[in-house]
Amino acid sequence: MFTLKDLTVEEYILPGNAACSGCASALSLRIALKVLGPRTIVTIPACCTSVLQGYYPKSPARVPFLNTAFASAAASASGMAAALEIKGREGINILGWAGDGGTADIGIQGLSGAAERNENFIYICYDNEAYMNTGTQRSSATPRGAVTTTTVTGKAERKKDVPEIMIAHDIPYVATACAAYPLDFAEKLRKAMTIKGLRYIHILSPCPPGWRFPAERTVEIGKLAVTTGAWILYEWMDDKYVLTGPSKGLTERSRRRPLKEYLMLQGRFGKLSEEEAKVLQEDVDLQWERFNRRLRESAEPSK
Ligand SMILES: Cc1ncc(C[n+]2csc(CCOP(=O)(O)OP(=O)(O)O)c2C)c(N)n1
Ligand SMILES: [Mg+2]
């Protein structure tokens, strides 16, 4: 089990950077680099991280960052992995780090190609559930009911399940995480580092300005995403699903907190009627029904 003491005191993203206060994606990146360490190259497409990572000579980053086009995180990570292999360089982590837009939308073709080829890098999608860098437009990872500048009455469609799409590619390791549970995330990343091939982690990263909540509530909201069951923490490897962290105890509906507790703290859900909130609760219940089925099936001994 990963403990706080396992996290180095070294910082690879320095404070005083351009992230908004309470930014969970900055927290996720900070933890990720503490686990990956100094022998890491990060490639990022256009996203909030391009902003916080800054411009020379003011960059807070202590490892190399390659800024690439919006669609290209996985393609550039593939190229770097090939280059390191050709040069015979070992022990260097390549991290493709992209937002939900850069992953679930415009970047999914490059990511799918890299997954099909099982390229040797770690890809982390930090999911703040919209295009935040450009002012909160909806993405396919925006949940149903959320108000964005392009879904002014609330998004009608459900959130795209990218981790499940990655599992369908049969890559060696897929996991979900949440910025409010940094040790769970760190442990998954540490495991991912021991595996060769494409490893995918999808980390939910609450966004105070985009989700419209006060900056000091980031961790509380992240925890509620998990304890209400809206976001499930799990790992998938060798064809098996395993629940992790607080999600372990939540397979039964009665153990999950009412979704309303999560919704009502966020301005983006402020316009929901009682009826609409009920539909979202049903979405969460359905998501668990499906997940429980996968859990059961993957636990069954093969015939
Ligand atoms: C081809 C292209 N279209 C649009 C943009 C403008 N753009 C830059 S960042 C961004 C949104 C990124 O969203 P996401 O990947 O979710 O990251 P976040 O900003 O939320 O961190 C957009 C639309 C761009 N850079 N390139
Ligand atoms: Mg985003």
Q: Tell me the mean pLDDT in the region 74-99.
A: 97
For residue 32, tell me if it sits in a domain: yes
- Which residue is associated with the tokens 């995918």? 200
Mean pLDDT computed over 231-241 = 97
Residue 193 CA, chain-centre distance (Å), reads 17
With a pLDDT cut of 70, the percent of the chain lying above it is 99
Does residue 227 contact residue 281 with C-beta atoms inside 8 Å?
no
Which pair of tokens denotes residue 257? 């907190």
Considering the domain boundaries, does residue 226 fall inside one? yes
- Upstream peptide bond of 208 is cis (omega within 30 degrees of 0): no
Convert the pLDDT of each residue in 271-300 to its tens digit: 899 999 999 999 999 999 999 999 999 988
Pick from 12, 95, 103: nearest CA to 61: 12
Nearest atom (ligand 1) to Cα of 25:
21
- On whether residue 1 sits in a domain, the answer given is no
Is the pLDDT score of 235 beyond 60? yes
- Strand spans (E) along 14-76: 40-44, 65-67
Q: What's the number of domains the chain is made of?
A: 1
Give mean pLDDT, residues 142-166: 98
Q: What is the DSSP string of 157-173?
A: SPPP-HHHHHHHTT-SE
Q: Among the atoms of ligand 1, which is closest to the Cα of residue 127? A: 16
Question: d(Cα 77, Cα 93) in Å, to the nearest integer?
Answer: 10
- β-partners of residue 142 are none
Task: Give mean pLDDT, residues 88-108.
Answer: 97
pLDDT at 166 over 70: yes
Residue 302 has pLDDT above 70, yes or no: no
> Residue 58: which pLDDT band, with cuts at 50, 70 and 90?
confident
Q: Is residue 3 part of a domain?
A: no
- DSSP label of 228: T
Q: Provide the β-strand partners of residue 124.
A: 97, 201
Q: Which two tokens stand for residue 239?
A: 């064809």
* Ligand 2 geometric centre to CA of 88 (Å): 35
CATH number at residue 284: 3.40.50.970
pLDDT digits (tens, 9 = 90+) for 16-56: 899 999 999 999 999 999 999 999 999 999 999 999 998 76
- What band does 57 get if pLDDT is binned at 50, 70 and 90? confident
- Region 254-275 average pLDDT: 97
- For residue 59, pLDDT over 60 is answered with yes
Provide mean pLDDT across the span 263-277. Answer: 96
CA distance 36 to 241: 24
Is the pLDDT score of 303 beyond 60?
A: no
Cα distance between residue 275 and residue 261, in whole Å: 15
**Position 64 in a domain:** yes
Q: What is the extent of the structural domain holding 290? A: 8-299
pLDDT band at 1; cut points 50, 70, 90: confident
Q: Does some domain include residue 135?
A: yes
The mean per-residue pLDDT over the stretch 178-197 comes to 98
Residues bordering ligand 2, an ion, CB closer than 5 Å:
99-100, 128, 132
Radius of gyration of the chain (CA): 18
Write out residues with Cβ below 6 Å of ligand 1. Answer: 46-48, 70, 98-102, 128, 131-134, 139
Average pLDDT of span 129-141: 98
Q: Is residue 101 part of a domain?
A: yes
Q: Which long-range contacts (CB under 8 A, 24 or more apart) does 27-32 make?
A: 27/179, 27/182, 27/205, 27/218, 28/124, 28/126, 28/177, 28/179, 28/185, 28/203, 28/205, 29/97, 29/126, 31/7, 31/179, 31/182, 31/185, 31/186, 31/189, 32/95, 32/97, 32/124, 32/185, 32/189
Considering the domain boundaries, does residue 2 fall inside one?
no
Task: Give me ligand 1 centre to Cα 70, in Å.
Answer: 6
Closest ligand 1 atom number to CA of residue 106: 1
Sheet holding 40-44, edge to edge: 65-67, 40-44, 93-99, 122-127, 199-204, 173-178, 234-237, 240-243
- Cβ contacts of residue 206 below 8 Å, gap of 6+? 24, 128, 179, 180, 213, 218, 221, 222, 225
* Averaged pLDDT, 213-218: 98
Strand ranges in 122-187 using DSSP code E only, listed in sequence order: 122-127, 173-178
Mean of all residue pLDDT scores within the chain: 96
Whose C-alpha lies nearest to ligand 1, atom 16?
101
Report which secondary-structure segment, H or E, holds 75.
Answer: helix 73-87
